[in-house]
Amino acid sequence: MSTTETGNSSTTESAVSGLDYEETQLTLAPPGGSRSELERKRGFSEGVDLSLETKDFLSGSSDEPPKPQVVGWPPVRSFRRNVLKSCTYVKVAVDGTPYLRKVDLEAYAGYQQLLTALEEMFSCFTARTYPNVRRLVDPVNGTEYVPTYEDKDGDWMLIGDVPWKMFVASCKRLRLMKSSEFVDIGCITER
Amino acid sequence: MVRGFGGAAAFPDEVWELVFSFLAADADRNAVALVCRGWHRIERRSRRRVFVGNCYAVAPAAAVRRFPEVRAAAIKGKPHFADFNLVPTDWGGGAEAWVEAMAGGWPHLEELRLKRMVVSDDCLELIARSFKNFGVLSLVSCDGFSTAGLAAIAANCRNLRELDLHENEVEDNCLNWISHFPESFTSLVSLNIACLEGDMNTSVLECLISRCPNLKTLRLNHAMPLEKLVSLLQRAPQLVDLGTSKFSADHHPELLSKVESTFAGFKHLKSLSGIWEAGPAYLPAIYSVCESLTSLNLYYATIQSPELLKLVSECKNLQRLWVMDLIEDNGLIAVASSCKLLQELRVFPSDPYGVAPPISLTEHGLVAISAGCLMLHSVLYFCRQMTNAALLTIANNRPNLTCFRLCIIDPHTPDYISQEPLDAGFSAIVESCKDLRRLSLSGLLTDRVFKSIGASANRLEMLSVAFAGDSDVGLHYILSGCKNLRKLEIRDCPFGDKALLDNTSKLETMRSLWMSSCSVTLGACRQLAQKMPRLNVEVIDERRGRPLESWPDDFPIEKLYIYRTVAGPRSDTPPCVWTV
């Protein structure tokens, strides 16, 4: 199965003529997060795009080389694409803040991008990676937050255990839980 | 006294009109009009239905003038590839020119169907005010209007029977447009608002439905919660065609039994769609209607395989099934043994951009369907692998196929067992299926497949080609064969000038030709345009740059749209389109 030939004519023409697909593509901005970076990684973006399939969310890389995406291929009605997309907005709550935000999970290619977006959305955080768990840290008071989500069964789960697509399909809402609360539950020990 | 063949004067005009009224097909009426002046005159004055496959093929005023008594018109605008974002959004297809001409010349118009056109709110208002007996408005894949325009339709079309909005991009700026239907309005038979994004006022909708006893088709959008849907549907047990809204909610035994009893109350339901986000909790409530269903559209129901399998297995009388690839091979094998009356199958990709989705839908599913469903004639199938052997089997099983659209998701994918191109497989399809009218190719294909298609596909009317062929010869085979070809759309193939210039007259026998990311140069377009004055040769190029006149002949064309027309070059081309 050739991956390199995909969209060759589009890319060649793009290089030859200086055609900038990004300039002409229609885009929707995800709420809050930085725009151009994320949009280029969106599976639905129109234009030649390197969509990163993250199999291992910690390393942020996949085993296969990224597949260039071709405009209008496969021939799925753009109307249908948009409509199916609209089901994946979820609320994001942060312990201690009075307001919630909403993110479109379909806008991200993997856990890495999602957490980056959350960092930017609640701009006080910086990310810190522990061997098994990603945490977000508020540099002002050093409080750590652990990203969790509520799944279809109503259970609160730690982000990152299941493949990304499975997560997107089952996630109903996100919650950045204070690390102290998380440790109390006894499901993690610091290493 | 009968004068002889074509002696129109032998009978009064009314007699011929009556005779012609038995000719339903436009092609037959067109043939009649060519016999003699008398018949031409009689036919044109009695034609009631007009179909314009390309809105730029004829000037609106000319169409209205020629057929003064039209009651129903259907018009199409943008090329098919606009569905996949290959056509610039400002390309054209505006409906104003047509609506204005019709408002002036066809005051008795009752039905208007527009597809892939840009329809403004002003257009909708003009429609609402101009046709006293307006009954049917169908907008498919259109854009440019808002719910304010729909409010105008609702308020003014006193005899509206059908409002069909199918997959349009509609701006939502008039929240209660449904309330613009007056209290006295009771004529609704069909309402399809599935494509609208916004919330509907349920009580207003309920009122409307309650006072329209003839309502047969109701397709709602996803916004309505299940509890409200149920109380609405209890007002319309006579429905034949239902598109539900969201079909999931928190589990409540009371709600579940309400849903069950509502569905049990549908004694005439034949067609079911919608079922957005169906959860396993409420899906079984549908089982009571399954046996009577002839059409089931599960495109929006992201149900997984076991529930899906159970559902479709109950639908013994299904003729049309649209479903996601979540059904998997096992599900299709079940369909093949349960749904013996199946005529049309469409399987869509749930994850078209994924690299390796864990979906077990392969060529085996389609082969099983082709073996088990003897009446199958129309297929649209997205999958990731195929073999020549499978295609051969399908061709042998189902020589009655009229529409075969196969999309192997990765371009240039060969037969995954033999690594050969899929030429042999598709050749078998066209050689076996003598009535094939529509074909979409995919996978690794050489010029050989086009030789077979050109030679064998005598009834083929529409062909879609992508990432296929080796050279110009491929295109030449198609253009020099395929006697009945009307629409040809090609992308990313190494087809160029020679094939086009060797087959110029063929292009006038077709409605249109689309070519993008191929190897056509501007020089060939210039030659073609010069040789064929009744073709519009539109060069589409979205790169900003110098005007067309200054480009050299060897300039490579990005996108090309050629169509026959008696209206000359159009006057509404945007900056990115040049008529050569």
Q: Are B352 and A24 within 8 A, CB to CB?
A: no
Q: Are strands A50-51 and A67-68 parallel, antiparallel or unpaired?
A: antiparallel
The residue among B288, B298, B296 whose CA lies nearest residue B323 is: B298
- H/E stretch holding B382 reads strand B378-383
B328 phi and psi angles, rounded to 5 deg: 60, 170
Question: How much of chain A, in percent, has pLDDT values that exceed 70?
Answer: 45
**Measured distance CA(B499)–CA(B503) in Å, rounded:** 6
Residue B551's alpha-carbon distances to A183, B199, B521, B535, B572, in angstroms, are 69, 51, 10, 21, 22
Token reading at B411: 């371009």
Task: Tell me whether residues A53 and B354 touch, CB distance under 8 A.
Answer: yes
- Measured over the CA atoms of residue B435, residue B343, residue B379 and residue B57, the dihedral's sign is positive
Residue B352: closest CA among B326, B321, B322:
B326
Angle (CA) B400 B403 B405, round 5°: 130
**Given pLDDT bands bounded at 50, 70 and 90, which one contains residue A90?**
confident
CB contact under 8 A, B83 and A165: no
**Of A2-16, A175-189, B408-422, minimum mean pLDDT range:** A2-16
pLDDT tens-place values along chain B, 580 residues long: 455 555 556 789 899 999 999 998 999 999 999 999 999 999 999 999 999 999 999 999 999 999 999 999 999 999 999 999 999 999 999 999 999 999 999 999 999 999 999 999 999 999 999 999 999 999 999 999 999 999 999 999 999 999 999 999 999 888 799 999 999 999 999 999 999 988 888 999 999 999 999 999 999 998 888 999 999 999 999 999 999 998 887 778 899 999 999 999 999 999 999 988 777 788 889 999 999 999 999 988 877 778 888 899 999 999 999 999 989 999 999 999 999 999 999 999 988 877 555 678 999 999 999 999 999 999 999 999 999 999 999 999 999 999 999 999 999 999 999 999 999 999 999 999 999 999 999 999 999 999 999 999 999 999 999 999 999 999 999 999 999 999 999 999 999 999 999 999 999 999 999 999 999 999 999 999 999 999 999 999 988 666 777 889 999 999 999 999 999 999 999 999 999 9
pLDDT at site A46:
33
Q: Do A76 and B491 touch (CB under 8 A)?
A: no
Residue-wise burial string across B224-233, b where 16 or more C-beta atoms lie within 10 A, e elsewhere? bebebbbebb
Evaluate if residue A87 carries a pLDDT over 70: no
Which of A12-26, A94-108, B45-59, B245-259 is the most confident on average?
B45-59
State the maximum Cα–Cα separation within chain B, in Å, rounded to a whole number. 79
Beta-carbon separation of A46 and B85 below 8 A:
yes
Strand partners, A46: none
- Mutate which of A14, A79, A108 to test chain B, going by most B C-beta atoms within 10 A? A79
Smallest CA–CA distance, residue A150 to chain B, in Å, is 15
User: What's the distance, CA B64 to chain centroid?
Assistant: 25
Quote the CA–CA distance of B387 and B178 in Å, as a whole number. Answer: 51
Distance CA B359, CA B385 (A): 12
As given in the structure block, the two tokens for residue B155 are: 């308020």
How many A×B Cβ pairs under 8 Å? Answer: 95
Task: Give the residue from chain A lying closest to B140, CA to CA.
Answer: A79
How many C-beta atoms surround the C-beta of residue A153 within 10 A? 8
Q: What is the mean pLDDT of residues A63-67?
A: 50
Query: How many angstroms separate the CA atoms of B575 and B167, rounded?
Result: 27
In which band, very low, low, confident or very high, does the pLDDT at A129 lie, cut at 50, 70 and 90? low
Q: How far does the CA of residue A120 sit from the closest CA of chain B (Å)?
A: 26
Gyration radius (Cα) of chain B, Å: 26
Which residues 313-372 on chain B approach chain A with CB closer than 8 angstroms?
348-349, 351-355, 357
Across the interface, of A18, A72, A83, the residue whose CB is closest to B85 is: A72
pLDDT value at residue A17: 41
Reading the block at residue B545, the tokens are 């740059």
| Calpha distance B232→B227 (Å, rounded) | 9
Residues of A in contact with B89 (CB under 8 A): 26
Q: Which residue has the higher pLDDT, A128 or B12?
A: B12
Please check whether residue B97 is in contact with residue B60, taking contact to mean a CB–CB distance below 8 angstroms.
yes
Check the CA dihedral B333-B335-B339-B343 and report its sign.
negative
Helices (H), B111-225: 121-130, 147-156, 202-210
pLDDT number for residue A190: 47
In a 3-state reduction of DSSP, which class is residue B575?
Answer: coil
Picking from B310, B44, B530, B156, the residue whose alpha carbon sits closest to that of residue B177 is B156
Sign of CA dihedral A162, A165, A166, A169: positive
Side-chain-facing half-sphere of B52: CA atoms under 13 Å: 32
Q: What is the ipTM of this complex?
A: 0.86
Whether B419 has its CB under 8 Å from any CB of chain A: the answer is no
CB contact under 8 A, A5 and B300: no
pLDDT band, residue A35 (cuts 50/70/90):
very low
**Alpha carbons B279 and B282: distance in angstroms, whole number:** 6
Task: Give the contacts of A120 (CB within 8 A, at least 6 positions apart).
Answer: A32, A33, A34
Residue-level pLDDT at B303: 78
Are the beta carbons of B83 and A64 separated by less than 8 Å?
Answer: no
